[in-house]
Chain A
Amino acid sequence: MSNGYWVLAIICWLVFSGIRSPVAAHHGGIGIEGDLVEWALNIDQWQEEQIDQGHRIKFLAYPRQPVRGGRTRLIFEIQAVATGAYVGGLAMQLRIQTPDGAARTVPLPETAGVTAYYETAVEFAQVGEYRLTAISTTPDASFQATFQRRVSPSVLLGDWATITGNLAVLAAFTMTWVGLIAAVQRRFTAFQIDPNP
């Protein structure tokens, strides 16, 4: 085998081992695997994180866009910033503030069998911006982080972004449909002589 093939083989090995290692090394379910675009988009889940009092609070919402009346899973993964260790055994609460300002607190229990995962499921009753605050009441590890999620009235209607997106797709669909009809019609018309040769 020539040197060129060896170099190519080594490059391929480096590339593919580089792609695989983050997945293999990941702690649990918050990591997103699969297609690069879907990974970049958070296609099926919302994900963001904050740091407070030496703790990294990773927030995951599933589905990505909460809809009124729909059930949304809210997951918080806690990690120590200094050591990178995942922190289990915390006493956690979730404060939910509705768009009209009312607030309630619900327990955020650790998921059995998954260290450092604190999860609850919520059914959002109002449309608008919710404030979700994960609070640790553990005496020697108190911290909190607030995340905001906008709840849509439906998967079709919502804020300007939702409506603009739907209209853009609808316009493209209409244009495609008109083009299809025009093309089919043209195939049933006789060829004409160019009036301006």
Chain B
Amino acid sequence: MQPALDYLSTFLHLIGMLLFAGGHIWFGVFTAIAERHQRRMDEQVLVAHLPVLANGFGVGVLLLFGSGLLKLLLWGEPGLIFLPDLYGWILLSKLLLYMVIVANGIVIERRYLPVVRVVGGEMSAAWRQVKLRARFNLVLILIVVALGETLRFSRL
């Protein structure tokens, strides 16, 4: 049973990374392309797909956290994150950054997504905020991914 759950948590973590980290990367690439070519049509297409993207990112976050928590529970360490080992500090950093990412996501979701609109052929201020905050989240996500890889070599 435990190996099956271990495998499941790893698998779901990868799917979550594909959805959340991969989604942010592609979103960043497409918005950058649209800005560079100054094509409003491209940005309008992105805006039209924002609800789908938000759903994907939400599912990705849930998969990432759920699978990560399952892994910690399976390992069964008191304190869950292996403090005061180096691994524990890295994991604590990941968790703190994760909370900032989720908080930023909540702000995007609640404050800006409902009001993103094309007004008179111009993109709204909310759209600029969505792009800015999504890029900030992308930077944090990449740091968390890098920390995740650092975990593997923290004791080698």
Contacts and interface: CB of A to CB of B under 8 A. Distances in A.
Interface of A: 36-38, 40-41, 43-44, 63-65, 67, 152, 154-156, 158, 161-166, 168-169, 171-173, 175-176, 178-180, 182-183, 186, 189, 191-197
B78 A65 contact: yes
Nearest to B72: A169
Interface stretch (B25-33, B38-46, B101-109): B101-109
Interface residues on B, range: 35 or more
A173 B69 contact: yes
Contacts of A193: 115, 117
A4 to B, nearest CB: 27
A164 B78 contact: no
A197 B125 CA distance: 5
A179 B78 contact: no
17 contacts: A37-B152, A40-B152, A41-B75, A41-B82, A44-B76, A67-B78, A165-B79, A165-B88, A168-B81, A169-B80, A173-B65, A173-B69, A175-B98, A179-B109, A180-B62, A183-B106, A194-B125
B54 interface: yes
Contacts of B69: 169, 173
B143 to A, nearest CB: 16
B58 A183 contact: yes
A89 to B, nearest CB: 34
Nearest to B99: A175
Instruction: Please report whether the interface of chain A is mostly helix, strand, loop or mixed according to DSSP.
Output: helix
Given A165-B83, A168-B96, 13 more contacts: A37-B152, A41-B75, A155-B76, A163-B79, A164-B92, A165-B78, A169-B72, A169-B95, A172-B102, A175-B103, A179-B58, A179-B106, A186-B113
A172 B78 contact: no
B81 A194 contact: no
Contacts of A173: 65, 69
Nearest to B126: A194
Instruction: Please report whether the interface of chain B is mostly helix, strand, loop or mixed according to DSSP.
Output: helix
A189 B51 CA distance: 13
Interface of B: 54, 58, 61-62, 65, 69, 72, 75-85, 87-88, 92, 95-96, 98-99, 102-103, 105-106, 109-110, 113-117, 119-120, 122, 124-126, 151-156
Nearest to B73: A169
Given A192-B115, A197-B125, A172 B99 contact: yes
Contacts of B119: 194, 197
Nearest to A195: B115
Given A166-B80, A169-B95, A37 B151 contact: yes
Given A40-B87, A191-B114, A197-B117, A178 B155 contact: no
Contact of A161 (B83, B99, B105, B151): B83
A178 B107 CA distance: 12
Contacts of B81: 165, 168-169
B83 A164 contact: yes
